[in-house]
Structure 1
Amino acid sequence: MTFLEEKIALSESCIVREMGDGFVILNLSTERFYELKEVGKRFWELISENKEYTLTLNILQEEYDVTAEQLRKDISRLTEDLKKAGLIVNC
């Protein structure tokens, strides 16, 4: 299964607060803070509304000047980082 076929959910052990142009996220399980800037923040907003990657990627590509290939690479890496941090989970 490719990451585009996965469904993800935000971890229930996170507290999210808007700060400036990004989000600060506290993982209550690890007591660690994480920061998402503009594009990461937008990705977080979209997956909280719709867990389907394809639609999320289409929206991000419309909103930002980026190729589909580069966006897939960046979002794949971001998704893996968020999973490792325990901020999102597969469902």
Structure 2
Amino acid sequence: MLSTNCITIPKGVFITDNENGDKVIFNYNNGQYYGLDKMGAYFWNLLCEHKNIDMIIDIVINRFEVDKHMVTNDLLTLINNLEKEGLVQLS
């Protein structure tokens, strides 16, 4: 399982919420906008708050009573995509 003590948002990345509970992310470094739906926004908030992948998976499973394998895959896919686009840094 991927665990980290530090998930950071690089300089030049700005986040805002819209009226639907989604998040809009702007990466000033490449000029791109990104959108996260409500579940993606929920994951994002947990990433910013807890910074530990295993803890986030446990929180989501307990709150939504969903399959651990599905949550793990969804969260790791999101993190990998965010990292690839320069929206988070893992260390």
TM-score, length of structure 2 as denominator length:
0.88
| Gapped regions of structure 1 (runs ≥ 5) | none
- What is residue 62 of structure 2 aligned with on the other side? 62
> Equivalents in 2 of 1:63, 1:39: separation in Å?
12
What is the identity percentage for the equivalent residue pairs of Structure 1 and Structure 2? 24
1:27 aligned partner: 27
Match status 1:17 vs 2:7 = no
Q: Please state which structure has a larger fraction of its residues in strand.
A: 1
Superposed structure 1 runs of 4+ greater than 4 Å apart: none
| Equivalent residue, structure 2, for 1:52 | 52
Distance 2:16 2:3 in 1: 29
TM-score (norm 1): 0.88
Structure 2: any 5+ residue segments left out of the alignment? none
SS at match of 1:26: strand
Secondary structure of 1:66 counterpart? coil
